[in-house]
């Protein structure tokens, strides 16, 4: 019976892969029936089931999967890979189950309509529009920084703890949900990662477990980065699987947050993206713009940069390459470096709001 089940599940794996390829060609169907239809019920159900637990069940699941893989490899090597018909079907069956759960519980969101279509905004912008928006972000960031510190050379000291950022991020979604009902977030499931230290050396701020719908953040990162990180992971929970779209959600909810510290974190987060594009396309002008940013803001940026430099790991490029290829395999051809799309969303949404 078990052998027949393994064979059936193994055959189901290529069927699932073909189904994904077919669904890729119909993002409207995915958007309507899955991302805005079935997925919200799956996501909320998982958050109700696991969100109340103070630690990450998904992290334990990852640990179990890694242990199981190591044990499986040890047994295969020990037995010199004998009886291949038995273990090949068993392995394919396990992979089929994981692949199916990954897509059903979250992964199909990778193939939904691009966010700019939902927002009805353009994806291109002129150099003049980019400069205008970047200048606006610098002005607002400087204003918020000066209002908080009363001194443009001082670094911002956030008045809440890392654990309290969770609630602040959730309030950001509550605030924006009146204008964007699809961003309504209930039944929280936002937790510090049990693997924060190795996550730091891998170079990651956080992640969403697609099998449990728990959002994990790296509790080691500077407090300055947590508002955007936690808001980014909630964006993933709400079905925005692509990194650039989750980053846009982080900007949207923090920049419109009722709390000034969260707004400061949001505007400076958006400024990093926008200024980065200026420096890439118009380096001389970009350097001049850097000179107009308050020294205290530059100190916040420097703290984050030094944090990652202090935790530099020779294997980090490998992890980033692996994750970048994972993103490319899941309908994100630019991989991790998809900043220009975030800037396009920000610039054009700003232009739309001015009309």
Of 276, 246, 252, nearest to 265 by C-alpha is 252
Residue 321 confidence class, pLDDT cut points 50, 70, 90 = very low
Q: Residue 339 has what pLDDT? A: 59
Residue 322: the pLDDT is 40
Does residue 324 have a pLDDT over 80? no
Q: Does residue 49 surpass a pLDDT of 90?
A: yes
d(CA 228, CA 262): 9
Burial per residue of 113-147, b for 16 or more beta-carbon CB atoms within 10 angstroms, e otherwise: ebbbebeebeeebeeebbbebbebbbebbbebbee
Q: What are phi and psi of 330, to 5 degrees?
A: -115, 50
Predicted pLDDT of residue 335:
44
User: Rounded to whole angstroms, how far apart are CA atoms 104 and 28?
Assistant: 17
Torsion angles phi and psi, residue 225, rounded to 5: -90, -15
Contacts of 349 (CB under 8 A, 6+ apart): 119, 121, 252
The residues, ordered by sequence, that sit 6+ positions from 178 with a Cβ below 8 Å of its Cβ are none
Contact, 173 vs 230, CB < 8 A?
A: no
DSSP code for 160: S
Per domain, the residue ranges of the chain are 2-111, 115-354
Q: Confirm if 237 and 208 have CB atoms less than 8 A apart.
A: yes
Torsions phi, psi of 354, nearest 5?
-75, -20
| Chain-centroid distance, C-alpha 297 | 24
Structure-model confidence comparison of residues 229 and 120, the more confident one: 229
Whether the CA torsion 18, 20, 25, 29 is positive or negative: it is positive
Asked which of 81-90, 221-230, 275-284, 346-355 is least confident by mean pLDDT, the reply is 81-90
pLDDT of amino acid 74:
85
3-state secondary structure of 207: strand
- The pLDDT tens digits of the residues spanning 205-242 come to 999 999 999 999 999 999 999 999 999 999 999 999 99
Strand ranges inside 93-236, DSSP E? 190-192, 206-209, 214-217
CB atoms within 10 A of CB 312: 9
Stronger pLDDT, 217 or 1, i.e. the higher one: 217
Is this structure's pTM higher than 0.85?
yes
The DSSP code for 112 is S
Percent of the chain topping pLDDT 70 = 92
Residue 160 has pLDDT above 80, yes or no: yes
């Amino acid at each position: 019976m078990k052998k027949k089940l393994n064979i059936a599940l193994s055959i189901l794996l290529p069927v699932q892969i073909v189904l994904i390829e077919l669904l890729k060609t119909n993002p409207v169907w995915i958007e309507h029936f899955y991302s805005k239809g079935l997925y919200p019920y799956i996501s909320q159900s998982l958050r109700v089931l696991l969100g109340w637990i103070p630690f990450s069940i998904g992290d334990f699941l990852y640990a179990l999967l890694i242990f199981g893989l190591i044990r499986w490899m040890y047994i295969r090597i020990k037995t010199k890979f004998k009886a291949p018909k038995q273990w090949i079907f068993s392995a394919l069956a396990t992979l089929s189950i994981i692949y199916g759960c990954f897509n059903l519980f979250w992964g199909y969101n990778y193939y939904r309509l691009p966010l700019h279509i939902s927002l009805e905004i353009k994806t291109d912008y002129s150099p003049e529009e980019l400069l205008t928006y970047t200048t606006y972000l610098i002005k607002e960031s400087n204003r918020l920084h000066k209002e908080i510190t009363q001194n443009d050379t001082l670094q911002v000291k956030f008045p809440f703890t890392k654990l309290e950022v969770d609630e602040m991020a959730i309030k950001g979604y509550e605030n924006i949900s009146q204008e964007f009902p699809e961003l309504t977030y209930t039944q929280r499931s936002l937790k510090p990662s049990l693997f924060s230290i190795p996550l730091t050396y891998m170079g990651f701020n956080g992640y969403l477990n697609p099998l449990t719908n728990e959002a994990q953040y790296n509790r080691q990162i500077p407090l300055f980065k947590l508002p955007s990180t936690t808001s980014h992971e909630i964006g993933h929970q709400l079905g925005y699987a692509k990194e650039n779209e989750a980053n846009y959600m982080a900007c949207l909810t923090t920049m419109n947050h009722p709390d000034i510290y969260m707004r400061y974190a949001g505007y400076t987060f958006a400024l990093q993206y926008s200024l980065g594009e200026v420096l890439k396309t118009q380096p001389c002008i970009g350097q001049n713009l850097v000179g107009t940013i308050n020294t205290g803001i530059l100190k916040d940026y420097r703290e984050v940069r030094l944090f990652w430099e202090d935790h530099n790991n020779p294997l980090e490029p490998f992890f980033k390459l692996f994750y970048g290829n994972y993103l490319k395999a899941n309908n994100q051809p630019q991989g991790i470096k998809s900043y220009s799309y975030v800037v396009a969303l920000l610039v054009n949404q700003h232009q739309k709001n001015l009309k």
